Amino acid sequence: MVARNLFTVNRTLTTVKQSSKYASVVIRNHSVWTQERVIKSPFKDIQIPNCTLYEYIWQNLDKWPERTASVCAVTGRGYTYEQAFKLSNRFAANLRTKFKIQDGDAVAVMLPNVPDYPLVSLGILEAGGVITSINPIYTAHEVQRQLKLSAAKMIVTLPEIVPTIKEALKLAQLDIPIVVVKTNDSPVPEGTALFNELSEDIHANKSILKQVRRTADDVCFLPYSSGTTGLPKGVELTHRNIIANCEQINEPIIAMHKETTATHQDVVMGALPFFHIYAATVLMFHKMSVGAKLVALAKFHPDAFLSCIEKQKTNVLMVAPPLILLMASHPAATAKTLESIDVVCNGAAPLAGSDVERLMRRMQRDIDFRQGYGLTETSPTLTVTPKGLVRYEATGPPVANTEMRIVDSDLNNLGPNETGEILVRGPQVMRGYKDNPEANKETLLEGGWFRTGDLGVADEDGILVIADRLKELIKVKGFQVPPAELESVLREHPSVNDAAVIGVPHQTKGESPKAFVVLKNGHKCTPQQLSEFVNEKVAAYKHVDDITFIESVPKSAAGKILRRVLRDQKVRPQFNRLCLSACFREKSVWTSDKVVISASKDVDVPSLTVDQYLFRNLDKWATKTAVICGHTNRQYTYEEVYKKSRILAANLRRKFKIKDGDTVAVLLPNAPEYPIITFGILAAGDEIQRQILLSSTTLIITNEDLVPTVKEALKLAEKDFPIISLNDKSTPEGTVSFKELVEDNNVDTSILKEVNRRDDDVAFLPYSSGTTGLPKGVQLTNRNIVANCEQQNTDFRQYEYTTESHQDSTLVVLPMFHSYGLSICMLHKMSVGLKLVTLPKFQPDMFLNTLLAHRLELMYLAPPMVMFLGAYPQVTAKHLEHVTAVTSGAAPLPSADIQRLFEKAQREIQFCQGYGLTETSPLVSLTPFGEKVYEDVGYSLPNMHCRIVDGEMNNLGPGEVGELLLKGPNVMKGYLKNPKANSEVFVDGDWLRTGDLAKINENGLITIADRLKELIKVKGYQVPPAELENVLKEHPAVLDAAVVGVPDQATGERPRGFIVLKPEAKASDKDIIEFVSKRVAPYKKINEITFLKEIPKNPSGKILRKTLKEEYCK
């Protein structure tokens, strides 16, 4: 073991009294500014120990072996320093012996904040490896990229994250070991090794560690950062870089820890994610080097965070701005809750003085508040405010051994109080970006100077204030406006909790500031009031006249505002959470009875009919376009839709004697008139349906092309009732003109006062095969539809609010006769004032021309359309340039198809998958905006309850596959006149059997396995066709696939595959059969492949397996 006294550094400090603003500040015996306008650290240079990081951390083990090193904030599971040392040492030995890790090999760590994180990290370092940390909420696509770039030889994670990693390894075509850290009773995934066993292996050959030859100048940590430019890059930090930074913050006048003794140990809250450099160095490595107790908080929730501060008696808090704002405003953050805190240090992003003062008021005392500045590339600390400096907007002077320059755009040095880009030089500056000479050339300048990309200003004492990111400046009429300045002013308003500002294009100014504001709970304020507040305090060119209220400001794990998200995704709310270490849902969703309740707050469902609900906000967007045909440009405003639907409703009552509860059939392709017809029928008191015999239809509305079909249907049904025809030319014989009915300005609409419809009356009567048998009439009430609309206006909202200056547009290519197109695309989007762009049918050229002609932010598609966008040669990034979100429903879609869409877009679009049924109006679950869970169907909507059951209807637990049962206000009233079907699907009261196989993880994330009735029974095993279809679609030559079960004398059934090859691709059935057989269990193997031109599917994209069986499997 390395002795601490080898590295002892003497520090001679000079303290001088300053103004009343701050008590004292440490300075050199000369000015911090040189004649060349270089800022020197006011602290004397220190000696950097020449050792590795793990030697540095363990050098004082003998002083505190029995002290707690790390502990879980919730469970209390943890390790003493002696235990941590021994376990990491054994783990290191096994990395060398069992996994053949060699000096310089990268080992990926994809963990939330668990007490094992330091043990894993130090074990990797002692084995001679390099840590590359990965955010545990990353998608498979993001993980595979970092695994490839870092050339990782293995990965350490939790069992819950293994499916993501396995998918990432497939995408990256890698085969590396996976080690899991077991923190609960969850099973160890197949094909993984267990950290707990590796670290507790008393027989580990520790002598192999003598082979390790690592020096202070070798890379030890490889985090990934976007830096000042482009995509994430591997930041090569050496042992010396991180040790230097630890020694720099040991400087007595800036140190925030107290010496660990027999009677005292600092308690440091680990809420910031350890995968980020701030927490890795300042929280984990440094605090362990001085013997502090690290309290690891894996699942961030405000109440848990505050409770842990109080229970653990936390005295040192290293935080990012979101946590400062939380402590300053959360009801549970009281003076008593926070009484143990001695020092708070903010980093990762600037914080306004007013925010700090709010925290002090909440604590009812002054505390030692510090602010630091740094980057991943600088290990991270560059500046820290010293003790006694009460300048909350400042980040302090450079730490020891560090020099700083403030430069103009030509890299000329600026002087005190001049704003420019910050350049730094010191022992903590990275070696460089891994395998990226171009990025290194841009950021690492001659003489060892590093360009930070940040704007700052330093005073005569070298005290730095961060102005903003260089690339985030807003250019207004040639003036440069830092967003951070306006954000600080906004947060001074008594009603504002948080704020973000970006620049948006402006016709005359070039750019103008746009603000996004989060109000405090219970506070009210108008955009105009906020604008006046800001504009009184800033120069005219900085005025903010465009303000949008949002639920939360999107931020990185370190608390930096994600302005790109604000620009690219129009600020739809991220899933209501702080993005610190929130790797999982914020509250338990499983009850003791194994029922899953939505993690989102329940919504109130208005007691309104659908047409009342849709037009309740008509005055807000009366003159905006409600619907436009993407093919013909025929269009209507919201006011026109309302008036024409009222006229139609009156004529339905007067001329056709329609009464409350009568059924009107609608047989139409998508058209701008569809909403007018829908609301007209509803206003007249009728139900809408699409079948004649079963529903006692009294009237049918169609277009001129379909009139012959309708007349033939009436003959077959021996029915005779009126037909209303949409016609561009002459009115077909025996029909009534729709145009004449809606333009009849003389009709007396007072007849509509007779309508007496309630929220629990049936409004729509679509037909569905449900989980059994022939099509049945699904009775959807007004309340069902309104509830489903309200459920989408929560954490799951994908649209930006319609205002005087903004209106989102959505493409409606899914058929409006289907519940997905009707409820989600038409009814819900019109209820919030969006512009609907309709297409009468899906035709490639028409579809693509519409994408170019209309600025479409939202697209709701079925899987075939997503696959088309990803595979069709004519699709380019231009077609998708305005799209902020794509939602796929009706059938599960594998991540490979989604990645192809991203490749076409040349960026990651927010991609959501949803799940629902006609019987649930239809939406049940959805990916929240801001999350990336591509192979699942998201979380249940508010007010929803879910169960997973076995064949005897017993409830199953997290991760177990069974039939999905549902309960909620969006669940249908029942099947029309079909008591037998109702008794089959409604069980245990009002629980709906979906007929779908699913599993739900411990956090409420739903994954659909397959349709219960579509399972293939092979030798008693159940084989989900969807699983095999996903494997088939991974083949590079396969565009689409379907699998059905066919009878087999020996096995009962066997899977048979149907394949659509990509254009120009070639593959034999033997190639594909071998491809699948290598990836599945023997009983799942496919031995028969049929090549097709297309897979038969219904309008919503579901595979028509019955058609495949009838046509090919007889």
Q: What percent of the chain has pLDDT over 70?
A: 90
Helix axes 321-329, 302-311, angle to 10 degrees: 80
pLDDT classification of 366: cutoffs 50, 70, 90: confident
Question: Among candidates 380, 182, 365, 190, which has minimal Cα distance to 276?
Answer: 380
Residue 576 neighbours by CB distance under 10 Å: 17
**Alpha helices (H) in 854-990, listed in sequence order:** 863-871, 895-905, 979-985
Angle at 418 between CA 415 and CA 420, to 5 degrees: 100
- Type and span of the H or E element at 567: helix 563-568
Q: Give residue-wise pLDDT tens across range 414-457.
A: 999 999 999 999 999 999 999 999 889 999 999 999 999 888 99
DSSP state, residue 1057: E
pLDDT at 582: 31
| pLDDT of residue 1015 exceeding 90 | no
DSSP state, residue 4: G
SS3 breakdown of the chain: % helix, strand, coil, rounded to 5? 30, 25, 45
pLDDT at 894: 72
**How far separated are the first and last CA of the chain, in Å rounded?**
75
Task: Choose which CATH entry (3.30.70.1050, 3.10.20.30, 3.40.50.300, 3.30.300.30) describes domain 473-549.
Answer: 3.30.300.30
- Type and span of the H or E element at 453: strand 449-458
| pLDDT of residue 23 exceeding 60 | no
Which of 261-265, 398-402, 475-479 has the weakest average pLDDT? 475-479
| pLDDT of residue 363 exceeding 60 | yes
Taking the C-alpha atoms of residue 195 and residue 159, their distance in angstroms, rounded to an integer, is 11
pLDDT classification of 693: cutoffs 50, 70, 90: low
Cβ contacts of 70 within 8 Å, gap of 6 or more: 78, 79, 84, 115, 116, 117, 118, 119, 270, 288, 293, 294, 295, 296
Taking the C-alpha atoms of residue 366 and residue 387, their distance in angstroms, rounded to an integer, is 13
Q: Is the dihedral angle over the CA atoms 752, 754, 758, 762 positive or is it negative?
A: negative
pLDDT at 689: 55
Cβ–Cβ < 8 Å for 968, 920? yes
Q: Give residue-wise pLDDT tens across range 218-235.
A: 999 999 875 544 456 899
Which of 395-399, 839-843, 1057-1061 has the weakest average pLDDT? 839-843
Mean of the pLDDT values across residues 511-531?
89
Mean of the pLDDT values across residues 205-217?
96
pLDDT at 348: 67
Mean of the pLDDT values across residues 136-164?
91
Mean of the pLDDT values across residues 316-336?
88
Taking the C-alpha atoms of residue 822 and residue 764, their distance in angstroms, rounded to an integer, is 10
Q: What percent of the chain has pLDDT over 90?
A: 57
Cβ contacts of 647 within 8 Å, gap of 6 or more: 680, 741, 742, 743, 744, 745, 747, 749
Taking the C-alpha atoms of residue 249 and residue 292, their distance in angstroms, rounded to an integer, is 15
Which of 162-171, 629-638, 900-909, 967-976 has the weakest average pLDDT? 900-909
Give a three-class secondary structure readout of 747-778. Answer: CCHHHHHHCCCCCCCEEEECEECCCCCCCEEE
Mean of the pLDDT values across residues 535-551?
85
Please tell me the total number of residues recorded for the chain in this structure. Answer: 1114
pLDDT at 776: 80
pLDDT classification of 14: cutoffs 50, 70, 90: very low
Domain ranges of the chain: 53-207, 473-549, 1015-1112
Q: Give residue-wise pLDDT tens across range 44-79.
A: 999 999 999 999 999 999 999 999 999 999 999 999
| pLDDT of residue 541 exceeding 50 | yes
pLDDT at 325: 84
Mean of the pLDDT values across residues 991-1001?
91
Mean of the pLDDT values across residues 737-752?
91
Mean of the pLDDT values across residues 553-558?
76
Cα–Cα distances in angstroms (integers) from residue 1108 to residues 888, 889, 1067, 1092, 1097, in the given order: 24, 22, 21, 10, 10
Residue 516 neighbours by CB distance under 10 Å: 23
pTM of the entire predicted model: 0.53
The answer as to CATH 3.30.300.30 being correct for domain 1015-1112 is: yes
Q: Give residue-wise pLDDT tens across range 571-628.
A: 333 323 223 223 333 345 898 889 999 988 889 999 999 999 999 999 889 999 999 9
Mean of the pLDDT values across residues 398-404?
98
Cβ contacts of 130 within 8 Å, gap of 6 or more: 104, 105, 106, 107, 124, 219, 220, 221, 222
Taking the C-alpha atoms of residue 291 and residue 65, their distance in angstroms, rounded to an integer, is 9
pLDDT at 935: 74
Cα–Cα distances in angstroms (integers) from residue 415 to residues 28, 459, 480, 580, 763, in the given order: 19, 8, 19, 37, 72
| pLDDT of residue 17 exceeding 70 | no
The answer as to CATH 3.60.15.10 being correct for domain 53-207 is: no
Taking the C-alpha atoms of residue 523 and residue 548, their distance in angstroms, rounded to an integer, is 15
Which of 9-13, 145-149, 760-764, 1008-1012 has the weakest average pLDDT? 9-13
pLDDT classification of 664: cutoffs 50, 70, 90: confident
pLDDT at 1058: 97
pLDDT at 374: 93
1063: buried, middle or exposed (CB in 10 Å: 19+, 13-18, 0-12)?
exposed
Q: Do domains 53-207 and 1015-1112 have the same CATH topology?
A: no
pLDDT at 930: 63
Give a three-class secondary structure readout of 206-242. Answer: HHHHHHCCCCCCCEEECCEECCCCCCCEEEEEEHHHH
